[in-house]
Structures are given as structure tokens and as C-alpha cells.
């Protein structure tokens, strides 16, 4: 059956994956966290940098720390947004189909956290839940839900969990914070947390 070139190419590559043995081999050789720090620069180059850093610390103090943390937060959120965009654009086949949110959530029995039936997922009138599938966010199993709007536009929703040190960097609606917003490869993405669960929503950016 003929299909658009883009879709045909995606499907061609969907099946191409490293074997479990290859993944394990790579993981053992290049495990997360094993990456060495960049090579040290010569002392004559380091000295000004150290002096500059000390000055920044002295002047910036707490402000500097906050800026750094803010940058780190942004790096994490951007990384999640990239993953969410990947998942959204691939639109892999649904593993469970249905329009009843609690029933669809019931499919995800292998997750290490309790999924929330957030009313935001089908908050817009006309939105229809299509189903869901397992995916991963930051290397941890997560749930992806797919929702169709009245006009056929698809959005994907994600519920995930993260270690505490990462979770605290995600905007928390329960503390009155607003979701982080990103635009990745034409996909508009919102990321937030509710009750300790990380949520992300993705849909194609509206064209003007």
C-alpha cells in the first residue's frame, strides 16, 4: 500500500534497533555518568578562568547559584522536550485503544508509579482519547496517551516519574508554577508535574 514518503521512511527505520547484547555492551562501555570531564586546559589558560570564576562567585553569590541551577533545569527540561518530540513525531502504533481514560490507564501495569487520570488530558470539548502505549522518558518507562481533537489534530500526553534530584527541577502546578514550554521541530511541548508525577503534552504547532 502506498503511503507518503516521510511515513514510509519512518516505518522502514522503526524496526532497526540495536540488539539487547549490543545495548548491554555499549552500556557497559559507555555507562551514564562515566563520561570524563573535558581535558584540562593548560595552567596559563586556567588561571584567568579560575580568577574570573572566583570573581563571579564573589559578586554573584546566591544569584550565580540560582542562574546555574536555572540553566541546569533548562537543560533537563530541554532534554525531556526532545524526547517527547521524538515520541510524538514517530507516532508508533497504539498498544491499547479506547476512549475511557481510566480503562486505558489500567493497561499500564508495569510502571513503577501510579498514573493519574488528569482531567487536563481531555479538557477541551471534542477531544477524544484514542489509546496509549509504553514509551520512555529519561530512560525510565512511561505512558504515552494519544488524543484526537475535533479537527483531527493529534496530541500526545505523557506521564512519567523521575528521581528526586530531577523531579525538583520540573515546574510543579501544586506550588503554583506554570508548565515549561518548548518548541521542538515544529512540536509545541508543555512539561510540568502534579502530585509528584511528571506530565508532558505535545502537539503540532499551529501554523499562522
Binding site for another protein (CB under 8 A): 1-6, 8-13, 16-18, 22-23, 26-27, 29-39, 75-76, 78-79, 82-83, 85-86, 89-90, 136, 138-139, 185-187
Instruction: Return the number of the residue (36 or 119) whose C-beta is nearest another protein.
Output: 36
Q: Which residues of 19-35 are buried (b: 16+ CB within 10 A; e: fewer)?
A: eeeeeeeeeeeeeeeee
Query: CB 99 → another protein: shortest distance, Å?
Result: 28
Query: CB 189 → another protein: shortest distance, Å?
Result: 13
Instruction: Return the number of the residue (85 or 201) whose C-beta is nearest another protein.
Output: 85
Query: CB 111 → another protein: shortest distance, Å?
Result: 17
Instruction: Return the number of the residue (78 or 97) whose C-beta is nearest another protein.
Output: 78
Taking a C-beta distance cutoff of 8 angstroms, is the pair 199, 155 a contact?
Answer: no
Query: CB 195 → another protein: shortest distance, Å?
Result: 25
Taking a C-beta distance cutoff of 8 angstroms, is the pair 132, 100 a contact?
Answer: no
Cα 136 from chain centre: 8
Query: CB 166 → another protein: shortest distance, Å?
Result: 11
Cα 39 from chain centre: 30
Instruction: Return the number of the residue (76 or 201) whose C-beta is nearest another protein.
Output: 76
Instruction: Return the number of the residue (167 or 173) whose C-beta is nearest another protein.
Output: 167
Distance CA 14, CA 119 (A): 32
CB atoms within 10 A of CB 53: 12
Task: Kindly compute the dihedral angle of the four CA atoms of residues 84, 89, 90, 96, in this order, to the nearest 10 degrees.
Answer: 70
Instruction: Return the number of the residue (101 or 132) whose C-beta is nearest another protein.
Output: 132
Query: CB 125 → another protein: shortest distance, Å?
Result: 30
DSSP state of 182: E
Taking a C-beta distance cutoff of 8 angstroms, is the pair 159, 206 a contact?
Answer: no
Amino acid at each position: 500500500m502506498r503511503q507518503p514518503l516521510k511515513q514510509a521512511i519512518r516505518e522502514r527505520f522503526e524496526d532497526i534497533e540495536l540488539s539487547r547484547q549490543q545495548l548491554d555492551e555499549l552500556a557497559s562501555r559507555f555507562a551514564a555518568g562515566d563520561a570524563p570531564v573535558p581535558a584540562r586546559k593548560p595552567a596559563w589558560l586556567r588561571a584567568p578562568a579560575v580568577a574570573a570564576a572566583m570573581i563571579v562567585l564573589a559578586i554573584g553569590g546566591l544569584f550565580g547559584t540560582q542562574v546555574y541551577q536555572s540553566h541546569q533545569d533548562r537543560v533537563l527540561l530541554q532534554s525531556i522536550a526532545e524526547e517527547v518530540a521524538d515520541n510524538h513525531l514517530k507516532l508508533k502504533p497504539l498498544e491499547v485503544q479506547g476512549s475511557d481514560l481510566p480503562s486505558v490507564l489500567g493497561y499500564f501495569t508495569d510502571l513503577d508509579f501510579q498514573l493519574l487520570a488528569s482531567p487536563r488530558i481531555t479538557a477541551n470539548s471534542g477531544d477524544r482519547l484514542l489509546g496509549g502505549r509504553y514509551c520512555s522518558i529519561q530512560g525510565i518507562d512511561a505512558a504515552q496517551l494519544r488524543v484526537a481533537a475535533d479537527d483531527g489534530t493529534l496530541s500526545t500526553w505523557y506521564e512519567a516519574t523521575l528521581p528526586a534530584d530531577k523531579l525538583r527541577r520540573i515546574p510543579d502546578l501544586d506550588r503554583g508554577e506554570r508548565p515549561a514550554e518548548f518548541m521542538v521541530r515544529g512540536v509545541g511541548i508543555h512539561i510540568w508535574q502534579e502530585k509528584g508525577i511528571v506530565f508532558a503534552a505535545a502537539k503540532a504547532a499551529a501554523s499562522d
